Structure 1
Amino acid sequence: MLDLLVIVILLSLVVMTNRRLAYANETIHAKWLEQNLNRLLAYHTAFSFLFPLLPGDASGYWGFTLQQVTVHSNNMFDYFGLGTPFLLFLDFIPVKVMGLSFLTGNIMYGLLGFCGLRYLFLLYYKSLNLDILVFGVRTVPFLFYLPNLNFWTAGVGKDTLCFFGIACFVYGIQFYRRRIISMALAAALVYFIRPHVAFMMGASLAICVVFSGRMKAIYKILFLALVAAGAAVVYKQVLGYLRIEDLSTKSLSGVASDTAGLLEQGLTGSAVDIQSYPLPLKFFTYLFRPLFFDVHNVLTLVSSFENLAYLVILIKALPNLRRRDIGAMPMWMRTGLLIFLFAMVVFSSSLGNLGIIMRMKNMTMIYLLMYCTWSISRRKAELAARATLTHN
Structure 2
Amino acid sequence: MIGGIVLILILYGVTQPLLTSLKGKQKAVNLQVLNNLYWYHMLFVAIYYTYGQFRNSDSHAYYHNAEFPEVGWMELFSNGTHFIEWLAFPFVQYLHFNYEMMMVLFGWLGYIGFLFFYLFFKENLNLRIKFQGYDIVTLLMFLPNMHFWTSSLGKGSAIFCGIGMLVYGLSYPGHRKVILAVGGFLTYFIRPHIFFAIMIGMGLSFLLGREKMPLYQKVLSVIIGITISVLIYDKLLIYLRLDEDNVWESFVSQTGFTAGQLQHAGSSVDMRSYSLPVKLFTFWFRPLFIDAPNFLGIFVSVENLFCLVYFTKIFQRDFLSFIRQASAMVKMSAVVFISISFSMTFVMSNLGIIIRQKSMIMYFMFFVVVAFLDWKETKRLKRRMKYAQLRTQRKRELEKKWEVMRKGQGV
Match of 1:201 among 194, 198, 201: 198
1:242 is matched with: 240
1:309 is matched with: 306
Compute the displacement of 1:293 (Å): 0.5
The one-letter code of the counterpart of 1:72 is: E
Compute the displacement of 1:273 (Å): 0.9
The answer as to 2:141 corresponding to 1:140 is no
CA offsets, 1:95-136, max 9 Å, x none?
A: 122221222112111211111111111221233333333355
Greater shift, 76-85 or 299-308, is seen at: 76-85
2:14 is matched with: 13
The 1:19/1:259 distance shift into structure 2, 3 A limit, reads farther
Q: Give the SS at the match of 2:45.
A: helix
2:208·2:328 contact (CA, 8 Å) conserved in 1?
A: no
The one-letter code of the counterpart of 2:315 is: L
- Map 1:247-266 onto structure 2 (within 5 A): 251-252=250-251, 255=254
Q: Give the SS at the match of 1:292.
A: coil
2:337 is matched with: 340
2:129·2:370 contact (CA, 8 Å) conserved in 1?
A: yes
The 1:226/1:307 distance shift into structure 2, 3 A limit, reads same
- Map 1:70-89 onto structure 2 (within 5 A): 72-73=70-71, 75-89=72-86
1:313·1:373 contact (CA, 8 Å) conserved in 2?
A: no
1:321·1:375 contact (CA, 8 Å) conserved in 2?
A: no
The one-letter code of the counterpart of 2:77 is: F
* Alignment coverage as a number of residue pairs: 382
Measure the CA separation in 2 of the matches of 1:22 and 1:232: 38
The 1:356/1:215 distance shift into structure 2, 3 A limit, reads same
CA offsets, 1:191-212, max 9 Å, x none?
A: 1111111111111111112223
1:99 is matched with: 96
In structure 1, stretches of 5+ residues that fail to align are none
User: Identity of aligned pairs, percent?
Assistant: 28
1:226 is matched with: 224
2:262·2:350 contact (CA, 8 Å) conserved in 1?
A: no
Measure the CA separation in 2 of the matches of 1:359 and 1:196: 17
The one-letter code of the counterpart of 2:13 is: S
Measure the CA separation in 2 of the matches of 1:389 and 1:123: 30
Q: Give the SS at the match of 1:295.
A: coil
2:256·2:272 contact (CA, 8 Å) conserved in 1?
A: no
The one-letter code of the counterpart of 1:79 is: L
Compute the displacement of 1:388 (Å): 3.4
1:48·1:154 contact (CA, 8 Å) conserved in 2?
A: yes
Match of 1:111 among 89, 93, 108: 108
Measure the CA separation in 1 of the matches of 2:249 and 2:347: 10
- Map 1:159-178 onto structure 2 (within 5 A): 159-178=156-175
Q: Give the SS at the match of 2:213.
A: coil
Match of 1:374 among 330, 350, 371: 371
TM normalised by structure 2 equals: 0.85
Compute the displacement of 1:303 (Å): 0.7
The answer as to 2:24 corresponding to 1:23 is yes
Measure the CA separation in 1 of the matches of 2:253 and 2:157: 23
The one-letter code of the counterpart of 2:232 is: V
The answer as to 2:58 corresponding to 1:57 is yes
- Map 1:271-310 onto structure 2 (within 5 A): 271-310=268-307
In structure 2, stretches of 5+ residues that fail to align are 392-411
2:394 is matched with: none
1:274·1:352 contact (CA, 8 Å) conserved in 2?
A: yes
Measure the CA separation in 1 of the matches of 2:337 and 2:350: 19
2:170·2:180 contact (CA, 8 Å) conserved in 1?
A: yes
The 1:2/1:65 distance shift into structure 2, 3 A limit, reads closer
Match of 1:217 among 211, 215, 218: 215
The one-letter code of the counterpart of 1:15 is: Q
Q: Give the SS at the match of 1:359.
A: helix
1:46 is matched with: 43
Larger Rg, first or second structure (1 or 2): 2
RMSD: 2.6
Measure the CA separation in 1 of the matches of 2:26 and 2:158: 25
